[in-house]
Structure 1
Amino acid sequence: MTQGAVIDGLLAYMATDHSPEDEFDQQALKLFAYQYQHNRPFQRFCQQRGKTVRTVKSWRDIPAVPINGFKELTLSCIPASDAERVFMTSGTTQGDVKGKHHHPTLSVYDYSMTKNFRQRFMQGRERIRMGVLFPTETLLPNSSLAHYLALAVKEFGAQESHYFLAREGLDIVRLIAELERAERVAEPYALLGASYSFVHLLDELHKLGKSFVLPQGSKVLDTGGFKGLSRELSMEDFYAQLSSVLGIERRQCINMYGMTELSTQFYDSGNAALPAVKTGPHWIRSRVVDPLSGKEVPRGERGILAHCDLANFNSVTTILTEDVGVAVNSGFLLLGRAQGSAAKGCSLAVEEFLQAALG
């Protein structure tokens, strides 16, 4: 199967409105066969685990690649030099070593983002005036979040949407003027950005004694967490302060869960109650597993989240995260980063993957 045929078939599948299990399986197995043939480190890993095109019968059987594998190896079905864009992680767990996700074309990533965002964040509204608390794509060309937010502004932002975070820091004066305008003209407003940027915003508004009552329909989207990057808050305090200071209902404070190693994002339906259930579109499925065995843990028990993202057509569909979660009927609860024995299990899984992939 050629790359063009893979992309065309995938986009047609993503354009549907839902997906029974058997249809998802069909797409996942096609991509597994393609990646098994063209992604040699992944092929060696699968062989070491006794997984081949003949033995993998379901998306649940596809071996999950630890996300740190993206830091050590080129997980790509094409030569790295042929990628249209390379997104890089910003984590510091391995010093300056950054994970790289190679995209031959952004057509699939962009379609995944815009269709999902339209349904989960816009919820019937065509456009909304936006303020972005994150640097532009020009400043951070290898950031998947910068590209995600640029797409949000381009496809869904009203005229005069603004970025408020640059090399010089947060433009608090301009942002306050925007929020005051939204109050004055009663025009719904959306603030989007990294979670830690919102913590800085809350601190600045507290110093200035400023608070707002934004119009009905206003929204917040935060992502990425803020542990170790700013003043730490409990999630309860974080959303309580956002709601109080901005005058936005907590059910309109939406958290997006994504990562560089994926091409699809998960959303909750607001944070009126915590933890909020995360769900994704029909082209991504999740399991909660033991990191060493890869086997699913019983429903209701904590484990490590593993995602099968069909939009990851060029790298690997199935990744093992370092995030702890619990499966629920409609999705999963995100409980934080792996610690203790779970973290050790993730590290051993990475070691096992690298030994197999490097031969």
Structure 2
Amino acid sequence: MLSERIFNISNQKDFNEIALEVFSFQFQHNNVYREFCQLLKRNPENVSTIKHIPFLPIEFFKKKKVISGENPTEIIFTSSGTTGATTSKHYVSDLKVYEESFLKAFELFYGNPEEIVILALLPSYLERQGSSLIYMVHSLINRSKYHESGFYLDDLDSLHKKLKELDKSGKKILLLGVSFALLDLVETYEFNLNNTTVMETGGMKGRRKEMIREELHQILSKGFGVEKIHSEYGMTELLSQAYSQGDGIFDTPPWMKILIRDPEDALSYLPKHKTGGINVIDLANFNSCSFIATQDLGKKTHNNQTEILGRFDNSDIRGCNLLIL
């Protein structure tokens, strides 16, 4: 099975071979992607490396049904957006693949969710339908063996008391929150946490003025009394997530890769330490499109991690984990 091979990738050679196989499959079975590739005169016969694979601009998910094959849709994930804005739609034909992707990646970076108290402060996501992030976090919470795990909408006082109590108990705690809600929490209450990982999952969602990541993390780090603020990088159009354990430097699971394209030439790539557009290969997304050109900016570090920097100025703010520079 393709999914089994994808989630057992262990080296670059395996990744490259499966990526080319997925490209060939999607070229044949994804009408939107095939038409895009044909415009660029790229096909499985003349594409021999992953850097020759065309990356579909993420805007296509706003106007087209981007799906590979004819399997029925199990769920449609939708992006957040301002009132009246066109949102992206991701037609997912196999939820088990999504579940395997986010669970394996979470375990890789944070361990077994059964052994973690998971607290979620995601009001802007809970207030709408179709959030892939809510689906993921809900599933992780259900796997936690601790009854304290759960969502908090706007009851910050209860969360404050629960977080302090849990942190003193010595249990392993993860607090996931959208940036504006985490700021609300630390501006209202004082913390000095020792056993809690704080992870921000997105920007201000129109609730506050945007700020650069360094400023946000500095405020949150001081407010919670933790050394580093973690981050999640995911989006509606993908089935995998990258994670940062501090300073906006992200690692990907073995079936996901980030490339940095030249902003002046979308078919060329930049060396390490040069800022450009982020292209994402998400092999778990083989039933949709695994090769996405995002509107995000980043650069590769010396050890091939990715620093997420912000967004192109002319792109709209959407429901993924980025802050304006």
* TM-score range relative to shorter protein: 0.7 to 0.9
Alignment of 1:1-359 (within 5 A): 8-16=1-9, 18-20=10-12, 22-79=13-70, 82-92=72-82, 95-122=84-111, 126-135=114-123, 140-156=128-144, 158-165=146-153, 170-203=154-187, 205=188, 210-214=189-193, 216-226=194-204, 228-250=206-228, 253-271=229-247, 276-291=248-263, 292-328=265-301, 329-339=303-313
Which 5+ residue runs of structure 2 have no aligned equivalent?
316-325
1:184 to partner: Cα distance? 4.5
Alpha-carbon distance in 1 for matches of 2:292, 2:167: 43
Counterpart of 1:353 in structure 2 is: none
Q: After the TM superposition, which segments of 4 or more aligned residues of structure 1 sit over 6 Å from their partners? A: none
Contact kept in structure 1, 2:167 and 2:196, CA below 8 Å: no
3-state DSSP of counterpart to 2:266 = coil
3-state DSSP of counterpart to 2:115 = coil
Q: Identify which range, 296-305 or 104-113, moves more after superposition.
A: 296-305
3-state DSSP of counterpart to 1:314 = coil
3-state DSSP of counterpart to 1:293 = strand
1:320 to partner: Cα distance? 0.6
The 3 A distance-change label for structure 1 pair 32 and 234 is: closer
State the superposition RMSD in angstroms. 2.5
The 3 A distance-change label for structure 1 pair 231 and 201 is: farther
Alpha-carbon distance in 2 for matches of 1:229, 1:106: 31
Alpha-carbon distance in 2 for matches of 1:33, 1:187: 47
The 3 A distance-change label for structure 1 pair 308 and 244 is: same
Contact kept in structure 1, 2:113 and 2:140, CA below 8 Å: no
Instruction: Report the count of equivalent residues.
Output: 314
Alpha-carbon distance in 1 for matches of 2:86, 2:23: 27
> Quick one: which amino acid aligns to residue 10 of structure 1?
S
TM-score scaled by length of structure 1: 0.80
> Quick one: which amino acid aligns to residue 158 of structure 2?
R
Alpha-carbon distance in 1 for matches of 2:144, 2:277: 34
3-state DSSP of counterpart to 1:101 = strand
Contact kept in structure 2, 1:137 and 1:147, CA below 8 Å: no
Spell out, residue by residue over 1:264-319, the C-alpha distance to the aligned partner (whole angstroms, 9 max, x if none): 11111223xxxx32110111112111244321123322110001110111111111
1:136 to partner: Cα distance? 10
TM-score scaled by length of structure 2: 0.88
1:190 to partner: Cα distance? 2.0
> Quick one: which amino acid aligns to residue 338 of structure 1?
F
> Quick one: which amino acid aligns to residue 247 of structure 1?
G
> Quick one: which amino acid aligns to residue 254 of structure 1?
H
Spell out, residue by residue over 1:37-58, the C-alpha distance to the aligned partner (whole angstroms, 9 max, x if none): 1111211111111111111112
3-state DSSP of counterpart to 2:215 = helix
Contact kept in structure 1, 2:257 and 2:281, CA below 8 Å: yes
Contact kept in structure 2, 1:194 and 1:224, CA below 8 Å: yes
Alpha-carbon distance in 2 for matches of 1:261, 1:58: 23
Contact kept in structure 2, 1:199 and 1:231, CA below 8 Å: no
> Quick one: which amino acid aligns to residue 246 of structure 2?
G
Contact kept in structure 2, 1:51 and 1:63, CA below 8 Å: yes
Counterpart of 1:354 in structure 2 is: none
1:239 to partner: Cα distance? 2.1
1:121 to partner: Cα distance? 2.6
Contact kept in structure 2, 1:183 and 1:213, CA below 8 Å: no
3-state DSSP of counterpart to 2:163 = helix
Which 5+ residue runs of structure 1 have no aligned equivalent?
1-7, 344-359
